[in-house]
Each structure stands twice: as C-alpha cells, then as structure tokens.
Structure 1
C-alpha cells in the first residue's frame, strides 16, 4: 500500500460503483500509454487496489487518472527496455472496434500509436493527458511531477511529432471494409495489377510475430517490394489464406484472417485513396482478445 494511504476497511458499494464508472476511461488511457491491453488491465487493477486503500478523495476521476498515469509511466520504463530486445518489429496490440462504436473516445489510430512510440514517456504522457484526454495543464503537470511550463513544452514537442504522422485521409467504415476485402482478394488471387493500383509508391509493411510465428523482422518499403512479397506469399500459402471478417482496428480499416493456419490482423492506413502502410499482427500473445464473428 502506498505511503500516506489509509485503509478503508471493506469497500463500500458506492466506492466500487465510482471506480467501475471510471474503468473504461482508465483502461483506454492505460492502453494508449502502453500499447498493451494486458498491461493496461494490470495498471488499472493496481489503481483499484490503491483506491480501495485510500480515503478523503475529493475528485475521484482526477485521483484515479493521476494514479493510473503514474503507474503507466513506471511501466513504460521497463517496457522500453523490453522492446529494445523484442524480436523483430513491435506493434501495439490490435484494438478491434465494435460495429456500433461510432463515437470513438479519442482520435488516435494505430499508425499514430506507432508515432507515440518515438516519444519519451513524459512527452507521451503529457500529450495523451492534455491533448487526447482533455486534462488541464496544471493537473497534467502535477501528474508527471513537472512544472506547468515544462509540461507545456513536453506536450508541444509531442504534438509536433504526432502531427507529422497524422493521416490526411479518412475513409467511411463501409468503404474501408470493401477495400480490406478487395486487398485480401488481390493477395489471395495473386493479382499484381490490382495490388499495384491499391498501393502507394512508398507503401510500407510492418509485421509483428513476437518471435512466436513467422514475420518479417524489418519494415518492407516500396510498392514493388510489397507486391513481390505478397505474390510470394500467394504462391506458397494461397490455398491456406482465409478471410474471417472486415473490421476497424484502432481507427484504421482492416481485417482478421488466417495465413498458414495462424490468426492475424491487418490494419490498413490510407492516404489520398491509396494504401500507404500495412500493419500485420501475428504474435499470438497479442491476439488472445481477437474473436472473429
């Protein structure tokens, strides 16, 4: 139990209700900071234990946000060291969005999550808390233990990095599903002409197998290289390619499929109507929550 906290005794029903009302937002915040649903759940559970042991809290939402944010900052330090030795490309755990999730709580996409990875933990926390979750600057400063002026500078630097990577093209959900299926069919049939029409010249492919299943350790760059790679996969695994469903993956159109018997998700970033990046998650540890319908 953290120093200065006092034991409540058995948790009062109203205290549990307050926490449960905050849980979805806290999970979203922790996921955005860590890129892992499992780690996010651990941080929120730890915050719950601290909430159970604290009293005299005037603003539960602010207290819980601060507690989860500080827990995540500590976790991010160890996560960074782990990712330095991660086998191959690291991608955030795919966040599959429900059909009725028309109003997203934030405006981040998987590609922007990748941009956040290049920020320092403090820059990431300042940007998420202030720009994405709308916390006043003085509250953010107290959370990350920096002055308001330093916090403003951290958020400004982060904002500049993220704006560079912000997609300039949004696609309606139905159109995204059509494109996802068309892209899969072109891959399965080995239609080089169709692939060439869909891919931007500088398109990239990022694949995360976590050392558990086959994936490409380095980012594949350029439409020609991608087409050669995708046609090679078709020749080798064409009869084992299975389209399971089109979906939204962390704000990007995409699909769930099987290749060589392994489940995978593919998120598709689109700029000016053409595919600029593919994010393929194959690490089974990151797909435990993916349940195709």
Structure 2
C-alpha cells in the first residue's frame, strides 16, 4: 500500500527545513535591520516591534512557498523592514501629538567608554555612530526623506537600490536624497570630535554641573548652547528647549541640586558618542549626551533623557 504524501516524512520535513532556513537568514541580518529601523524611528521599543513584524512577514512568505528561492535575502528583508518602519512612523507621529515637553530619541546605550569602539567598517555597527544630535535633525525630515537619507548616507545604498526598497523611481529617490542632504547639512555641520576630546568634555561638564561650579559651566558651555530635557511628563523636566548659556546654567544647576548627589555615574557610549548615564541604585535615572562645537572645546547642545519609558533597556551592570 502506498503512503499518502502527507504521511511521507520527507514531505513533512520540508516546511521545517524552510522555517529553519528562514530563521537563520533573518538572524544573520538582524543587526543590520535593527540599525536601519532604529535610525528611521529613533525608538528601541518601536524598532523591536518592527523587527517582530518583519519576522512574521518574512517567515510567512517562506512557509507559504517553501520551495520559493529568494535571490537576495538581504535586500528582501531590508525592503520588508523599511516598509514596516514607514507604517510605524504614522503611529509615532500620532503619539508625538500628545507628548509632554520636548521629544528626544530613545538612547541606544552600548559598551562602557573604556572599551574599544566597534568596527566602523561594519555597516550594522557603524549605524551606532549616528549621534543623538543627528537623530534630532532627522526628526524634521519626512518619513520618505529620512528613509532615503538613512539608507544612502548611513549605509551606502545606491539610489537604484533604494528605489527598489521603496518602490519608487530612481529619479524620485535622487530628488528625495538631495532635499534630505540639504536640510541635514544646513542644520548639522559635518564634523566629528575626537573620542578623547569628547570624553574630557563630558567629564568636565558632569563635574561642573554636579559640583554646582557656575564658573566652570559658563566656561564649558557655548554662548548659544541649547538644552533639551525629555521627561515625557513622568519626571520633572523643562517643557521647552532652553536656549542660551545663562538660562542653561540655571537649569542644569537646579536639576543637579534635586538629588544629583545620590546618583551613581557611569560613562557609556550612547549612539556611538561618549556620554554619561546616571543610576538611582540599579535603576536608570537619566542619560545625558553632549554635542560639541566644531572646535571641540565647548558644549553646543545637551540632550537629557529622563523619561523612564525610554530607559527600560538600560542596565547598570551590562557590559554591552
């Protein structure tokens, strides 16, 4: 008696093999997908949700067609992830309409600053060098402009490749890229402070702020410095960006006086830059990132994330 196809072990194993292959390919590209989506959204939590949606779309397409061969899994996965991220932007925009105070990207906290930085040649890890200040600028782009900028300027995709990801004509992608570059470069000078200079400036800033040394703060802050503090209505923070050195000093010394002495300080890389993370016991209290002037001797921007919802992934004892 012949066996039915459904009872054939070889037939039954094919869906399992397809799923295993799909899982392996997804995990091989997960870091890259995370980096692209995070830079499009500025939120770790939303990025994880998008990656989950990407996995469901990817594994579903593979299981429905177990024998279907995808010639370029990397390009296919990037296309799925980017399009899910574009849909998520609409959700984030609605959420922002009711957000209390300035909105800052969710900080991506990585290894301590005394460890060597990740290999800058790896595009997935290189994305960590997209600074907090740059992410703030990217928030002012349209979703499509931001997707084109991230894929082109950060990950080096050609316009023709981006056109395939976004299902747009290359000419339209070139126009989006031109507008995005003009906007970003007008608001964000193209320079990077040396890591040693940034670390020294960060330590000087923290010592002056926590020590209440107004003279030292006046010296390290640029005259036109801006301080963004994101409490999300859940922790006390300024409801608008504070501009100018005098106002910034008053704000920073007042915030330091409200319990700064009880906090533990650790220096970590945040979005690729040497920064500081404050802990209240084992709970993250705030992440502070500095933006320096082109000369590297003064602080031109201070980004303080207090909102506990944006710090849930930060652990005191994590090495990475």
| TM-score, normalisation: structure 2 | 0.83
Deviation readout 1:214-254 (Å, 9 max, x if unpaired): 111100000111112223234443533x2421122113331
2:300 is matched with 276
Q: Distance in 1 between matches of 2:56 and 2:190?
A: 42
Query: Which of 69, 79, 92 lines up with 1:79 in the alignment?
Result: 92
Change (3 A) 1:116 1:63: same
* Stretch moving more, 178-187 or 283-292: 178-187
Structure (1 or 2) with the larger CA radius of gyration: 2
Q: Distance in 2 between matches of 1:81 and 1:264?
A: 25
8 Å contact from structure 2 (residues 284, 316) kept in 1 = no
**CA offset at residue 259 of structure 1?**
7.2
8 Å contact from structure 1 (residues 167, 270) kept in 2 = no
Q: The residue matched to 1:88 in structure 2 has which SS?
A: coil
Query: Which of 35, 49, 52 lines up with 2:42 in the alignment?
Result: 35
| TM-score, normalisation: structure 1 | 0.90
8 Å contact from structure 1 (residues 177, 247) kept in 2 = no
Deviation readout 1:150-202 (Å, 9 max, x if unpaired): 11100110011111233455333344333222211111111111001100000
Change (3 A) 1:248 1:41: same
Q: 5+ residue gaps in structure 1?
A: 1-7
1:213 is matched with 235
1:4 is matched with none
Deviation readout 1:43-92 (Å, 9 max, x if unpaired): 11111112112233111000000000000011111211211221111110
Q: The residue matched to 2:219 in structure 1 has which SS?
A: helix
1:138 is matched with 160
Change (3 A) 1:50 1:75: same
Q: Distance in 1 between matches of 2:78 and 2:148?
A: 13
Query: Which of 68, 93, 100 lines up with 2:116 in the alignment?
Result: 100
8 Å contact from structure 1 (residues 189, 238) kept in 2 = no
Q: The residue matched to 1:24 in structure 2 has which SS?
A: helix
Matched, 1:247 2:254: no
1:3 is matched with none
* Stretch moving more, 122-131 or 59-68: 122-131
**CA offset at residue 275 of structure 1?**
0.0
The CA RMSD over aligned residues, in Å, is: 2.0
8 Å contact from structure 2 (residues 284, 315) kept in 1 = no
Show structure 1 runs of 4+ deviating over 6 A.
259-262
Q: 5+ residue gaps in structure 2?
A: 1-13, 62-67
